[in-house]
Amino acid sequence: METLLAKYWSPEQIEGQRKLEGDPPISRMTIYRYLYSPRGAGYRKYLRGPGKKKRATRKSHSRIHNQTMIDQRPEEAENRKVAGHWEGDTIQGQTRKEACVVTLADRATRYLIADLLPRCNAESVNRSVPQFADSGLPCKTVTVDNGMEFASHAKLQKKIATPIFFAGGRNPWQRGTNENMNGLLRQFFPKKTDFAAHSSAQLRWAVELLNNRPRKCLEYRTPKEMMDSFGFALVS
């Protein structure tokens, strides 16, 4: 149990995983009692706290031309039964123009891809995302928000040979999978993090933890297990 807590698993995830694997049951309340006892106090630092509501920061005059909107996305992307339909965004650093992280989350498996960018702009995004598209993972569609780092979407779409769709302005719920994963990453990289001070290895460590942590929405399977189940074997 302590090993899983140290991997940032929640008591609910530990309880659900044990049931899934047929291990002797242990309730989340038992785990919480342990965490708030003197013996388990050292593991409380791994618990996630409640997040703050995200405020819209993008200005209305920042417009991207020739967008294909989310209502034109294939129906297959809606039902979460097929891997390869991704949602993308960036996690900002101390300022909007400095180093940031670009993230892509698969709607079906909740599998996360992330990369450090030296600058939060379209040029950096267009260099990074094609590397993911060449990784062997399924890539059928990508749905992004209206940040100006995706302003050069036509060039990016050509590079990755995958259609790119845009969520409606100030409608983060249309990319709920990606928003959720970004929130989980914020546990490791809080607001106003200077991403220039972090390494790609640190980011990979956090992403690996999340991809190997069971999710309630996946019936306590992990995103990696789900992606493997679609026939895309991934290296741990």
Per-residue pLDDT of 154-203, as tens digits, reads 999 999 999 999 998 778 889 999 999 999 999 999 988 999 999 999 99
Q: What is the pLDDT of residue 49?
A: 66
Of 5-14, 52-61, 207-216, 224-233, which range is least confident?
A: 52-61
What mean pLDDT is predicted for residues 199-211?
97
| pLDDT confidence band for 121 (50 / 70 / 90) | very high
Percent of the chain with pLDDT over 70: 92
Of residues 16 and 56, more confidently modeled: 16
Asked if residue 217 has pLDDT above 50, the reply is: yes
Percent of the chain with pLDDT over 90: 60
Of 4-18, 60-74, 78-92, 211-225, which range is least confident?
A: 60-74
Is the Cβ–Cβ distance between 67 and 166 less than 8 Å? yes
Is the Cβ–Cβ distance between 25 and 19 less than 8 Å? yes
Specify the pTM.
0.79
Is the Cβ–Cβ distance between 164 and 130 less than 8 Å? no
Rounded-to-integer distance, Cα 223 and Cα 229, Å: 10
Write b or e for each residue in 112-139: b if 16 or more Cβ atoms lie within 10 A of its Cβ, otherwise e: bbbbbbeebbbebbbebbbebbeeebbb
